Chain A
Amino acid sequence: MLSIAIPVAFALLTAAQLLNLYRLLKGPSLLDRILALDTMYIDAIAMFILMGVYFHSAVYFEAALIISVMGFIGTVATSKFLMRGDILE
């Protein structure tokens, strides 16, 4: 069952990343690009976990945790910078 499910899930996630990449490259405003990057890091967490299922390993969980923290901080910092021209008030 997993031998079918893992390639299907990889294909769906790759399609999602490519669509987000299109919005990242095309996006009319800068905030659309930030939004596309925000979605891309969430999809990257899913892809890392999927790699963990594929290789029967739990090492990828730590990478996913670090990506989730860093992606959130990056989104908040860039949005605040665009809003005020300053990160810390």
Chain B
Amino acid sequence: MIEYLSGIVLVLGSLFCLVAALGVIRMPDTLTRMHAVTKAGSLGAGLVVLAHALFHQHPGIFLRAVSIIALLLLTAPVAAHIIARASYRSNIPLSERTWVDELNKK
């Protein structure tokens, strides 16, 4: 039973990683790419780690899995924020379908 559950969670997590990579390919500019990647990517990797912890059911492995998931969830927003900030500051052109840019109002 637990083997079925961890298999399903494993495939689901890899599917989320693939969705994040599709977002990297398909989205029009850096900010939207960052938006697609930072949520789906960390969710996918977190689900894969959770599947391993479910499969082994050992307290040490569970502790390590929790620490990896916490580290991912703590660092992904910081990395996304600093990438977005650097891309805006260095004047990388936005997508041509952008219709509001509130930082640029002088």
A interface residue numbers (CB < 8 A to B): 1-2, 4-6, 8-10, 12-13, 15-17, 19-20, 22-23, 29, 31-32, 34-36, 38-39, 42-43, 45-46, 49-50, 52-53, 58, 61-62, 64-65, 68-69, 72, 75-76, 79-80, 82-83
Could you say which of B24, B71, B75, B86 contacts A31, with CB atoms under 8 Å apart? Answer: B86
Tell me if A35 and B11 are in contact (CB < 8 A).
no
Q: Which residue of B lies closest to A47 (CB)?
A: B48
A contacts with B: majority SS? helix
**A38–B33 CA distance with the chains assembled, in angstroms:** 12
The 7 closest A-B pairs by CB, nearest first: A5-B7, A16-B21, A12-B14, A19-B21, A9-B14, A72-B75, A83-B86
Quick one: given A23-B24, A49-B48, are A76 and B78 in contact (CB under 8 Å)? yes
Residues of A within 8 A of B82 (CB): 75-76, 79-80, 83
When A1-B3, A2-B55, A83-B85 are in contact, do A38 and B79 touch as well, CB less than 8 Å?
yes
Query: Are A58 and B60 closer than 8 Å at their CB atoms?
Result: yes
Give the chain B neighbours of A15 by CB distance below 8 A: 18, 21
* Prevailing SS type, chain B contact patch: helix
Given A12-B18, A65-B68, check contact A76 B79 (CB 8 Å).
yes
- Chain B interface residues toward A at CB < 8 A: 3-4, 6-8, 10-11, 13-15, 17-18, 20-22, 24-25, 30, 33-34, 37, 41-42, 44-45, 48-49, 51-52, 55-56, 58, 60-61, 64-65, 67-68, 71-72, 75-76, 78-79, 82-83, 85-87, 89-90, 92
